[in-house]
């Protein structure tokens, strides 16, 4: 019997990157040959553009025809110190931004383009001939961390673990001492009022109100070190999801500065008809604090704080896969194929009870999870389907 693994064709597609648009209704994938855009729910190919060259990062602006492109892979379409805004309706380049160093990431809105470099963030006005609005110094930012809303820009500060928050209307800058170790993931709610951060330690997630930079929650993912892959706040701003290299998706309740607690809100949860799916909606439950993992132990004085910390109310397994590192052993982003490790566990909320998790690589995978209430009144995170999107049509 031949037990040798099948050899994949050399020209089989590889997703160099994957990212959601602002409302997670679509996700874009950078390929060695161009890019593809998929609808998030259901997972369905929307459009593919073949450039016969690689794109290491692709970012879609909402549901518009504009897509930000950065060259990458073994045969880059563009130099890696250039950001290209592609107008897919006209099938041509609309804007080119030449930068003086390698671009680590890009985010854009209808008014601004934020370009993340290794040690700075450059913000341009989004127009036919963009002009530089401002440049901000940062600590080392190899992952290109940056969040952009119509009103607020968030990115790492000059000191490791700090976060800078910029009001785009006034240019006012606030500094948040979020962590003592380098930042690994950040996200901002769609209304711009809530900000979440995680560091390279990966044990604690902190949540801040952007109006006054006050810390409004501290959440514990676990007690051992982990690499946080992604943070994402739900559309309503009161749920937070996180993924890590433990291959676990965690879901937390979080407070919102201008909304009542979830238990007092009129909207209900989906109700599980079985552990594999969901059915009609039922009224929300005034939960006992299910996020207190240790129960009564959390109320005993003098015990270590790990017993009283707030944990996720639900979790689920997502697939990381066993893809080898491409060309090296150091995890880098996909702009350069040397040391390329495909991104995994990227989160997009399509509603307050539906989560999509995608991953890049040769095993480009889409997974859907639902937050639903069980017959016991507790909330669960249940996988509701999966697909290898590189074969989707």
- Residue 8's pLDDT band, with cuts at 50, 70 and 90, is very low
Q: For residue 65, what are its two tokens?
A: 């025809």
Residue 338 has pLDDT above 60, yes or no: no
**What pLDDT is stored for residue 360 in this prediction?**
95
pLDDT band at residue 306, thresholds of 50, 70 and 90? very low
Angle at 212 between CA 206 and CA 213, to 5 degrees: 25
Give 116 or 330, the one with higher predicted confidence: 116
CATH class for the region spanning 183-393: mainly beta
Query: Residue 322: its pLDDT value, please?
Result: 78
Question: What average pLDDT does the segment 360-377 reach?
Answer: 94
Element of type H or E holding 247: none
pLDDT at 290 over 80: no
Cα 39 from Cα 41, distance rounded (Å)? 6
More confident: 180 or 330: 180
C-alpha dihedral (274, 280, 281, 287), degrees to nearest 10: -20
Q: Is the pLDDT of residue 255 over 90?
A: yes
Q: How confident is the prediction for the chain on average, in pLDDT?
A: 86
DSSP-derived 3-state class of residue 107: strand
Collapsed DSSP state (helix, strand, coil) of residue 297: helix
Greater pLDDT, 334 or 145: 145
Average pLDDT over residues 336-362: 85
Summarize the confidence of residues 16-44 as an average pLDDT: 97
pLDDT band at residue 283 using 50, 70 and 90 as cut-offs: very low
Contacts of 104 (CB under 8 A, 6+ apart): 116, 117, 118, 141, 142, 143, 144, 333, 335
pLDDT exceeds 60 at position 235:
yes
The least confident of 85-94, 123-132, 216-225, 267-276 is: 267-276
The 10s digit of each residue's pLDDT in 62-89 is 999 999 999 999 999 999 999 999 999 9
The pLDDT confidence band at residue 391, using thresholds 50, 70 and 90, is confident
Look at residue 253 and give its three-state secondary structure. strand
What are the DSSP calls for 29-86, one per residue?
EEESSEEEEEETTTTEEEEEEE-SSBEEEEEE-TTSSEEEEEE-SSSBSS-TTEEEEE
Alpha-carbon gap, residue 141 to 157, rounded angstroms:
10
Q: Quick one: which H or E segment has residue 120? A: strand 120-125
Give me the pLDDT at residue 242, please: 98
Mean per-residue pLDDT, 302-322: 77
| Domain edges within the chain | 183-393
CA distance readout (Å), 150 to 88, 132, 246: 22, 17, 34
**What single string gives the DSSP state of each residue in 167-225?**
ETTT--EEEEE--SS-EEEEEE-TTS-EEEEEETT-SEEEEEETTT--EEEEEE--SS-
Query: What is the token pair recorded at 73?
Result: 């892979």
| pLDDT tens digit sequence for 190-230 | 999 999 999 999 999 999 999 999 999 999 999 999 999 99
Nearest-angstrom CA–CA distance, 303 and 305: 6
pTM above 0.95, yes or no: no
- pLDDT at residue 281 in the model: 36
**Predicted confidence band at 263 (pLDDT cuts at 50, 70, 90)?**
low
Output DSSP code: residue 361.
B
Residue 309's pLDDT is: 81
Q: Check residues 12 and 311 and name the one with the higher pLDDT.
A: 311
Bridge-based pairing of strands 365-373 and 269-274 is parallel
Residue 298 pLDDT level (bands cut at 50, 70, 90): low
Q: How far is CA 154 from CA 9, 71, 195, 210, 324, in A?
A: 42, 24, 9, 10, 33
């Amino acid at each position: 019997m031949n037990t040798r693994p099948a050899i994949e064709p050399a020209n089989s597609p590889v997703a160099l990157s994957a990212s959601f648009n602002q409302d997670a209704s679509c996700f874009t994938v950078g390929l060695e040959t161009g890019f593809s855009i998929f609808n998030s729910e259901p997972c369905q190919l929307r459009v593919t553009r073949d450039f016969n060259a690689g794109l290491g990062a692709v970012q879609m602006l909402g549901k518009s025809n504009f897509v930000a492109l950065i060259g990458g892979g073994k045969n880059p379409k563009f130099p890696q110190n250039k950001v290209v805004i592609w107008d897919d309706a006209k099938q041509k380049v609309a804007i080119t931004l030449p930068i003086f160093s390698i671009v680590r990431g890009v985010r854009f809105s209808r008014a601004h383009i934020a370009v993340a470099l290794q040690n700075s963030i450059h913000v341009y006005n989004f127009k036919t001939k963009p002009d530089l609005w401002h440049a901000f110094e940062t600590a080392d930012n190899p992952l290109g961390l940056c969040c952009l809303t119509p009103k607020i820009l968030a990115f790492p500060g000059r000191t490791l673990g700090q976060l800078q928050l910029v009001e785009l209307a006034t240019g006012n800058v606030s500094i948040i001492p979020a962590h003592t170790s380098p930042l690994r993931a950040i996200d901002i709610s769609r209304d711009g009022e809530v900000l979440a951060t995680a560091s390279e330690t990966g044990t604690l997630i902190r949540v801040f109100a952007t109006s006054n930079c006050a810390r409004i929650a501290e959440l514990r993912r676990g007690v051992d070190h982990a690499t946080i892959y992604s943070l994402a706040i739900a559309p309503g701003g009161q749920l937070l999801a996180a993924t890590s290299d433990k291959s676990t998706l965690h879901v937390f309740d979080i407070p919102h500065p201008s909304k009542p607690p979830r238990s007092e809100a009129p909207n209900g949860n989906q109700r599980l008809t079985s552990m594999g799916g969901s059915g009609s909606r039922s009224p929300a439950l005034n939960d006992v604090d299910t996020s207190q993992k240790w129960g009564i132990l959390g109320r005993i004085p003098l015990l270590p704080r790990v017993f009283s910390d707030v944990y996720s109310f639900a979790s689920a397994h997502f697939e990381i896969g066993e893809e080898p590192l491409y060309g090296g052993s150091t995890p880098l982003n996909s702009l350069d194929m040397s040391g390329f490790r495909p991104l995994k566990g990227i989160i997009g909320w399509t509603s307050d009870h539906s989560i999509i998790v995608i991953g890049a690589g040769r095993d480009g995978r889409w997974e859907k999870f639902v937050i639903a209430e069980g017959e016991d009144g507790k909330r669960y995170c249940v996988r509701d389907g999966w697909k290898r999107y590189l074969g989707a049509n």
